[in-house]
Amino acid sequence: MTYRRAVIPALVGGLLLTLLLWWAGASTHALQVRGATSVFDPQSVSELERWLTPWSYDSTAELMSGGPVGGSMVTGGDTQYAELHSTAMQIRFVAVFVLFLAGALLLVRRIPPTQGRTPATLLALWAWAPVAGTLAVTVSAPWLIASRGHGSYRVLPALAGVVASSGPVVVFAGLSTAVVTVLVARVTAKGEEPLPRRSVPPRAARTAASVGTGVVALSLVVLSYQSVAAWIQTSFSGAGMLSEPGDLLRQWLLLGGWTGPASSGLGDWLLYRAVDVFMLAVVWWALRLLPGLLTRATVPAMAVGAVCATVLGLLASQVLHMAIDDTAGVYGPVHRFSALGNGVPAALTFGIAAALAAVATLRLAGGSGTGAVPVGRDTADVPG
């Protein structure tokens, strides 16, 4: 698909995601009206406030600080901090629009929803929405931290808290956005000569997917193991504003949390490990199909595609964790969805690393040819 055709659905998707997140943030006060707790239980109301406040323009909300919504951030009538918060939110919404637009433009152009690619395009766009949200809150973090009035104190832990705050609301908004973007892309793709899929040797595709999945497993299995994660948390020290980087490192390096079977019942331990294996299987399968789905396997396209594959595996594992979660009776039913979107920074880090490893493996294995040929049963585009 040409850029001229791809930019239309990308613009529509970017605008829709931004509007949905703005509407979600503007709905924060609806949870504070009298009678809200008669619709939702108090635990669910508190959880929904935590989801929505990262996208709220309300400068009186103690965003991402763990405090109750409605606490004052402005003292003595000074509006400086409120203006900083407003600036942070302006940057956040502009950033989420631009970042989703850029990723969607590349995805729609390289994985156009034609010739059986529609499900792949839909899933890739859905996975890209949490990435855009995470990067947007990261870009706007300095202004938001400064708006709390103590911008020079524990900057890195505060930054880690902001990075982790985009919340499940982006996942839900991203699903709606992906559906609309694909529908618009199918309309704009009509009348254009579809590019045939690339022929990728199956062995090269499987090898590249295995290497890329191994990079992701390094985070999920090795770095996320309890003792290693604790070492990452506590072994790096600094001074002044850049002290205590452990929380931030964990955000960008750890995809999960492994413990030994002695820490819980063997049955529960095996169940959670099975979910981790399922996540790696989803990543492997997506990486195996990715080179054949792309109209041209460039490094940027492979990088964005691998990040989306990693996020999809992460979301799949989180949905399975929801199914085995037994805390809804204690924390409310909304709490089941609270983990959606966690780990996206690490998925971004290791998704890019997995893409680079997969591209290098494809080239070494002879699967980097750029010639586009019709898809046959012996190509990596076809499952099996």
Q: Whole-model pTM?
A: 0.87
**Cα diameter, the chain:** 72
Partnered with residue 372 across adjacent β-strands are 198
269 pLDDT higher than 80: yes
pLDDT in tens, 60-99: 544 333 343 333 344 433 577 788 888 999 999 999 999 9
Helix axes 42-52, 3-26, angle to 10 degrees: 140
b/e string for 234-248 if b means 16 or more Cβ within 10 A?
eeeeeeeeeebbbbb
Residue 369 has what pLDDT? 45
149 pLDDT higher than 80: no
The owner of tokens 């169940």 is 271
Three-state secondary-structure class, residue 372: strand
Helix axes 344-364, 266-293, angle to 10 degrees: 50
> CA–CA separation, 350 vs 354, rounded Å?
6
> CA–CA separation, 270 vs 257, rounded Å?
13
Tell which phi-psi region holds residue 115, choosing left (phi > 0), alpha (psi between -120 and 50) or beta. Answer: left
Q: Which range (33-42, 93-102, 127-136, 341-350) has the least confidence?
A: 33-42
- Could you report how far apart the first and last alpha carbons of the chain are, in Å? 27
> CA–CA separation, 50 vs 337, rounded Å?
12
pLDDT in tens, 308-317: 999 999 999 9
Both tokens of 256, joined, read 């999960």
> CA–CA separation, 80 vs 91, rounded Å?
17
Residue 330 has what pLDDT? 66
Does 373 or 296 have the greater pLDDT score?
296
254 pLDDT higher than 90: yes
pLDDT in tens, 287-303: 999 998 998 888 999 99
